Amino acid sequence: MKNYQLEVYTRPTCSDCQDLKKFLQNHHIPHKEYDLAQQPSKEEDLKKITGNRIVPALVFSRRSFLGIMKKSKSMIGFERNKNEIKKLLNVG
């Protein structure tokens, strides 16, 4: 996964979220998922990171030289960002 750790914010009623989860599962991509219907407190984290509550939201973090995880990239939406997501995750 090219040095990235992935966090995904989703809702069960979001079809784009379901497509993203299938994609991650099919490609065996390790990730941490926050279902905002089950974990509403994570919605504040999402707003701090992306500035809104739109899902699916993907947050890529990478380890710094000192070993500290830093948020390096976030994006909203799976289908419209699919090519960039594949590139970041190094999948075909």
Digit-coded pLDDT (tens) for 18-73: 999 999 999 999 999 999 999 999 999 999 999 999 999 999 987 665 655 566 78
Element holding 75 (H helix, E strand):
strand 69-76
- Judge whether 32 and 6 are in contact, CB under 8 Å: yes
Helix (H, G, I), strand (E, B) or coil at 51: coil
Q: Is the pLDDT of residue 87 over 70?
A: yes
Element holding 45 (H helix, E strand):
helix 42-50
Q: What is the pLDDT of residue 19?
A: 98
Q: Which residue's entry shows tokens 């009623």?
A: 13
DSSP code for 83: H
pTM assigned to the model? 0.86
Question: For 60, phi and psi rounded to 5 degrees?
Answer: -100, 130
The domain ranges of the chain are: 5-80
Q: What is the pLDDT of residue 65?
A: 59
Question: What does the alpha-carbon distance between residue 35 and residue 12 come to, in Å, rounded to a whole number?
Answer: 7
Q: What is the pLDDT of residue 88?
A: 86
Q: What is the pLDDT of residue 72?
A: 76
| CATH number, domain 5-80, options 3.40.30.10, 3.20.20.70, 3.40.50.720, 3.90.550.10 | 3.40.30.10
